[in-house]
Amino acid sequence: MAEATCRRELELEIPAEEVEKAMERTAREFARVARVPGFRPGKAPVALIRRRFAADLKEEVLHSLVPEYIERAVGAQKLTPVTRPQVDRVDFADNGPLRFRATFEVLPEFDLADYKNLEIAIPALEVTGADVEKQLARLREEAAKFFPIEGRAVADGDYAVLKLIGTPVGGGDPVRADNVVCHVGAEETLAAFTENLRGAHAGDHRRFEARYPDDYPDPKLAGRVYNYAVEVLAIKERRLPELDDGFAKEVSDAATLAELRARIRQGLEAAREQRQQQLARERILEALAARHDFPVPEALVEHHMDARLERAVRSLVAQGIDPRAVNVDWRALRRRQRGRAVADVRAELLLDRIASAEGIEVTEEELEKEILALAERSGESATAVRARLTKQGALDTMKSRLRSDKVLEWLHRNARVQTTAERAE
């Protein structure tokens, strides 16, 4: 039966004779370099050194003997620590044994259940003509162009080109824009803008207050109230292009609309295959987890939680958002990552054990191929990428990820896969 925790405590005792030998040996080393009044360097009696430097000698003996005895005990019990042992309850009396407690976490011990005949079900994710038309409509939306409107006021559906200054109520930096486009009457447009711009003509000025909801996408504006001074520079309408061969040439290198549709279908089918592969991996990990119940080291869970939070922060920074300015309870967000982090650690441990059982390893050629691909994406040389990864200690992480990928591919090949009728979203 699996233990409820990966935490281990070892109550250890180093015999008095071993401690005495270490004290004597350390005292002689001190005596060679210690400066003691009345004695030339290296000539002070060992007995005097032991009295004068008693505390320092004990410290040195602790540092030399304790790790050695912990290592012996760990080896004897066939444990695999994943954290540095913490030592406390030290009892180091003169002329007696050295007693202490070592606390650490270990990799869990568990027996592998049958993993070669996993049964999983994944959706077929059929690509239909409607899916192709939906993608075609997206391309058409992206290719739409704006045309000026003259001789009438702003109406719902129009795009008002604005110059504006927004002053936050309660103080703060103002918002300024010299050429911003507002889709009047649109669902995503604040009601204050629609209500105050509807009926305006080019050249008109408007002043109004706008309150942003707490869940507004831009964290700099979310939950705040601004007083706006707005000038309407122009009124425009947005027109979709005709769905013909000319449109196909404009948005792609296809010669005809029929060819563009064929390419869209091909792309959707490739995406479907990729999604099915991802779903298969998820189902495999779920099936493995259902067959294995064992504790995971808390230190590894904490590491995964930190990594997930770090990815969230990096994503905000990449968008030009200061994470400190975002109205997010980061501690609560980190706590919510725990369930996924536990699952990730359990999956890693299972895949590692299966890799060892099946002799699945990453070759140097496979590692080099991954480095070359990373170099191509980053614009660096493969040598520079390898050097950077080595310096960051990330090369082993990459190798571990590639090994896990190989195990998942192996499990997929050996699994009994059933496809269910389900349309792609």
- For the stretch 377-423, pLDDT in tens is 988 899 999 999 888 888 888 999 999 999 999 999 999 988 887 55
Coil, strand or helix at 165: strand
Order of all β-strands in the sheet with 86-92: 7-14, 98-105, 86-92
Query: Which pLDDT value is given to residue 371?
Result: 93
Q: What string of DSSP letters covers 134-159?
A: HHHHHHHHHT-EEEE--SS---TT-E
pLDDT band at 313 (very low <50, low <70, confident <90, very high): confident
Q: Which residue has the higher pLDDT, 356 or 331?
A: 356
Give residue 33's pLDDT band: very low, low, confident or very high (50, 70, 90): low
Cβ-in-10-Å burial (0-12, 13-18, 19+) of 284 comes to: buried
pLDDT score of 182: 95
What pLDDT was estimated at residue 210?
95
The answer to whether 228 touches 166, Cβ cutoff 8 Å, is: yes
161-183 burial, b at 16+ Cβ within 10 Å, e below that, comes to bbebebeeeeeeeebeeeeeebb
Mean pLDDT along residues 24-49: 71
**CB distance 414 to 406 below 8 Å:** no
Both tokens assigned to 41: 């360097």
* pLDDT (tens digit per residue) in 170-207: 888 899 999 999 999 999 999 999 999 999 999 999 99
pLDDT grade for 34, boundaries at 50, 70 and 90: low
Q: How far is CA 9 from CA 66, 73, 77, 81, 355, in A?
A: 14, 11, 12, 11, 30
Is domain 145-239 annotated with CATH 3.10.50.40?
yes
The neighbouring-strand residues paired with 88 are 101
Q: Which of 26-30, 212-216, 235-239, 350-354 has the lowest mean pLDDT?
A: 26-30
Query: Greater confidence, 40 or 243?
Result: 243
pLDDT at 2: 42
Instruction: Please check whether residue 356 is in contact with residue 112, taking contact to mean a CB–CB distance below 8 angstroms.
Output: no
pLDDT at 155 over 50: yes
Range name among 204-208, 224-228, 314-318 with the lowest pLDDT average: 314-318
Instruction: Please give the pLDDT value at position 40.
Output: 66
pLDDT band per the 50, 70, 90 thresholds, residue 330: confident
Q: Any idea where the domains of the chain sit in the sequence?
A: 7-105, 145-239, 295-358
- Closest to 233 in 3D by CA, of 207, 200, 186, 188: 200
Q: Are 31 and 46 in contact (CB under 8 A)?
A: yes
Give the pLDDT of residue 394. 87
Specify the pLDDT at position 425: 44
pLDDT of amino acid 321: 78
CATH 3.30.70.1050 fits 7-105, yes or no: yes
Under 8 Å between Cβ of 149 and 236: yes
Residue 58's pLDDT band, with cuts at 50, 70 and 90, is: confident
Look at strands 416-420 and 119-123 and give their pairing.
parallel
Q: Please indicate, yes or no, whether the overall pTM of this predicted structure exceeds 0.75.
A: no
Report the share of the chain in percent with pLDDT over 90. Answer: 66
- The Cα 112–Cα 394 span in angstroms is 29
Angle, CA of 323, 327 and 333, to the nearest 5°: 80
* Mean pLDDT over the full length of the chain: 89
How far apart are alpha carbons 83 and 361 in whole angstroms?
A: 25
How far apart, in Å, are the Cα atoms of 194 and each of 168, 184, 202? 19, 5, 15
**339, 55, 130, 104: which is closest to 347 by C-alpha?**
339
